Amino acid sequence: MQQETKPTGAAEPAPFFVSALRNPWTDYMVDAWQRSILFLDVLRQRGNHYEENKARQAPHVLSFEHELVLDGRQLERPVNYGLLRIVPPAGVTTGPRKRPFIVFDPRAGHGPGIGGMKHDSEIGVALNAGHPCYFVGFLPEPVPGQTVEDVCRAEARFVEEVVARHPEAEGKPCLIGNCQAGWQIMLMAAVDPDLPGPILLAGSPLSYWAGVHGKNPMRYTGGLLGGAWLTALTGDLGDGIFDGAHLVANFEALNPANTLWQKPYNLYSKIDTEAPRFLEFEKWWGSPVLLNAVEMQAIVDQLFIGNKLSAGQLRTSDGLRIDLRNIQSPIIVLCSQGDNITPPQQALGWITDLYDHEDEIVAAGQTIVYTMHQSIGHLGIFVSGKVATKEHQEFAQCMELIDLMPPGLYEAVITAKDGDTEHPEFVQGEYFLRLEPRKLDDIRALGGNSAEDDLRFQTVARVSEINLGLYQTLWAPLIRAMATPGSAQMLRTMHPNRLRFEMFSDRNPFMPSIAAVADAMRAHRRPVAEDNPFLVAEKAASDWIVRGLEAWTQARDELEETLFLNIYGYRPLQAAVGLGTEDAARQPGVERDLLREATAARTAAALRRRFDRGGPLEGAIRALLYIRIPEGADERSFFALKEIAETLPEKDRVGHARLKEIMRDQFLILMLDEERALATLPALLPEDPAGRELWLNLLRRAFMVRGEPTAETKRRLQQIEAIYAVEAPADAVKAPAEERKPLSKKRTPVEENHGTGAKPAA
């Protein structure tokens, strides 16, 4: 039977002799002693959770009921991944025509389930919006011989299965990749571009060298360790297995103040309330998984140190080059200024690696949307309930809008709905989303590497190759001969990130007695008053310790950066590894592809023949795009359009896929030749005045829900109104030259590059 605990601060009247002994010091000492015992008991519970998880075949922290759909171990190229269907909780229904969501969990050292650990999570948001939801997780031990490529192939098979299970869905599945899982599904989508729907990357690093001086010290680690040879040594000592606990230790080393003091002290100081949250998080944080050494080596060589993903230098085992420009699905990037593991430069730098100008994004047919939180940390991007109920909720509700957006670069601006919000009836929740056009210079303004920095990282890659070659030639045969499954298991058991959990569990003969003492402490709890001078001094001492550790961390990071910049900026070293000439030191860019460019030319030629082809729907979409191009899109306009679409005659209604195709084609027609697109617009309109008036009124309604338009938008609307008029004046189509504002200052590359993403030839 659970013992009844007294309310905080409540206590029975004490005898006189006890009251006489009570004073601020004794009160504080009693409280401190009780907190210490309760703290140890929470560590005991954490250790027991660790032992329970270790004994389970498929440990996870998912808080949703689920069922296995596909077991990756049964595939032709088996992997330790699996596809789960999330069973909607009571009171939640999902629609058969709703786009399915698939959440991919990161295998970056920790166990699976972080994307669904809370009900206010990525999974919870998708379910509450009525979308069928699936989860891709993994087992703690890899299948022998599996590779990163095998995992990507398995994930493609999982997406195929979800598509087959939802034939009526209006749109392909939305993929959500957290951290490491993000770049993994990008690899998969680049190889199978027709398979996925929108891709949301939450805190996913794709450009590993990127960053700014004075921050992002993690990117220097590989260089200061001499490259990837240490990864190879760790895998060999593990008898072909890489322990994910090493990755967890790397994350913790970024912030010693939190690891060594803030996290344990926060539990100790709030022991009466903090234990459930602490245990929930530690259940995930304290369950490191294993990777094949060949998997980890490929990740370090090709991504962390090689930075080959955004440069288009990765190839599959059958020789296919992986080019992120192949991805035709919308890509949504969620990053944060407070993320010290995947800073915005690493989450967004791949865009500037691939493209020199935003027009090239349009030419590639890609729609890229990004949003940036100002303070949330790395884990908070996909764990925080505040982020889930704001950013993730808005993206889930507006995924159809994003999927219909024309190619280009946009920033998602999420604004709270208040009393001043115009047309709140078209806002689905507490926030509404705007997609505002952006330029690559907006991303470059976040900071990044100079040419000298890129040369330093290229030097690291060369040094890594040399050191790895020396290790594999001289030492690897000896290490592999000495390593055994038993020695590898002993090293894993003795890893500090495992030992600190196990030593406080009930396997320690001294810990079971703590449970009984802790129960007595809870029954007679005497928390000290907040204004107790000794408690105030304790908190002040804690602040001093935190500031001291933060100062040490800053000094360490500055020293590491200084060493890195000086060692790998040393010109003789650069020359010694073959980077002494200008040509050798040039950062390799994405290769030109003649087939892509030829396809682009054919597509542009086909578009030129379609300026005057189509009907009222094509004409209305062309007109709406022309009006709203300078301002981007707004979810109010989108939901107003959906309402309007339901009033259209049956013959004018189209499905989501066809509407997306029309939106894309009409936008590219405007980009090819805006003046001709407007001049040929009357050919798409109904011949009868009543029909034109009907479509024009629909445009006006969709136009006005966003509130007061800009002067440029008003001018464009007036042009469209003149075109839709029964007898449009001859000069209504073409505004005076001094008034016309082109979509872009530079000539669009659509004609040369449409649909390929290839950069225009010089």
**What's the rounded Cα separation, in Å, for the pair 424 and 356?**
39
**Torsion on CA atoms 490, 493, 495, 501, rounded to nearest 10:** -160
Buried b (16+ CB within 10 A) or exposed e, 701-722: ebbbbbeebeeebeebbebbee
| Contacts of 507 by beta carbon, 8 Å cutoff, 6+ apart | 47, 51
Q: In what order do the strands lie in the sheet with 431-437?
A: 66-71, 81-86, 133-138, 101-104, 174-178, 199-202, 331-336, 367-373, 408-416, 431-437, 633-634
Sign, CA dihedral 703-706-709-712, equals negative
Task: Give residue 118's region: left, alpha or beta (phi > 0; psi -120 to 50).
Answer: beta
**What's the rounded Cα separation, in Å, for the pair 132 and 88?**
8
Beta-carbon count within 10 A of 600 CB = 25
The beta strands (E) that lie in 417-461 are given as 431-437
Beta carbons of 675 and 734 less than 8 angstroms apart: yes
What distances in angstroms separate CA 224 from CA 221, 274, 465, 574, one per listed residue? Answer: 5, 38, 14, 15
Cross-strand partners of 138: 81
Beta carbons of 43 and 268 less than 8 angstroms apart: no
Beta-carbon count within 10 A of 14 CB = 12
Q: What is the per-residue pLDDT across 8-38, written as a single tens digit (0 to 9) for each?
A: 444 455 554 445 557 899 999 999 999 999 9
Task: Give residue 35's region: left, alpha or beta (phi > 0; psi -120 to 50).
Answer: alpha
Beta carbons of 647 and 695 less than 8 angstroms apart: no
| Contacts of 149 by beta carbon, 8 Å cutoff, 6+ apart | 316, 317
What distances in angstroms separate CA 745 from CA 206, 359, 671, 698, 749, one per listed residue? Answer: 29, 10, 12, 31, 12
Closest listed residue to residue 195, CA positions, set 135, 147, 149, 154:
154
pLDDT of residue 744: 40
pLDDT of residue 204: 92
**What's the rounded Cα separation, in Å, for the pair 338 and 400?**
29
Q: Which residue type is seen at 101?
A: F
- Written as one string, the DSSP assignment of 697-730 is HHHHHHHHTT-SPPHHHHHHHHHHHHHHSTT--T
Domains of the chain are: 57-244+288-493+536-591 (3.40.50.1820), 594-753 (no CATH)
| Local structure of 414: helix, strand or coil | strand
Closest listed residue to residue 180, CA positions, set 259, 234, 248, 226:
248
Closest listed residue to residue 28, CA positions, set 514, 543, 517, 536:
536
**What's the rounded Cα separation, in Å, for the pair 72 and 81?**
5
pLDDT of residue 691: 83
| Contacts of 716 by beta carbon, 8 Å cutoff, 6+ apart | 626, 627, 630
Tokens of 451: 């040419």
pLDDT of residue 588: 59
Sign, CA dihedral 407-413-414-419, equals negative
pLDDT of residue 693: 86
**What's the rounded Cα separation, in Å, for the pair 420 and 672?**
39
What distances in angstroms separate CA 534 from CA 266, 287, 442, 522, one per listed residue? Answer: 17, 37, 51, 22
Strands 241-243 and 290-292: antiparallel
Cα Rg of the chain, angstroms: 30
**Whole-angstrom distance between the N-terminal and C-terminal Cα of the chain?**
80
Tokens of 403: 């999927």
Beta carbons of 297 and 235 less than 8 angstroms apart: yes
**What's the rounded Cα separation, in Å, for the pair 306 and 314?**
10
pLDDT of residue 609: 87
Let me know the angle formed at the C-alpha of 755 by 751 and 756, rounded to the nearest 5 degrees.
100
Weakly modelled stretches of the chain, pLDDT under 70: 1-21, 385-386, 388-389, 425, 584-593, 644-645, 647, 706-707, 726-762
Sign, CA dihedral 212-217-223-228, equals negative
Beta carbons of 145 and 111 less than 8 angstroms apart: no
Q: pTM to 2 decimals?
A: 0.87
Sign, CA dihedral 410-413-417-420, equals negative
| Contacts of 69 by beta carbon, 8 Å cutoff, 6+ apart | 82, 83, 84, 85, 134, 158, 161, 165
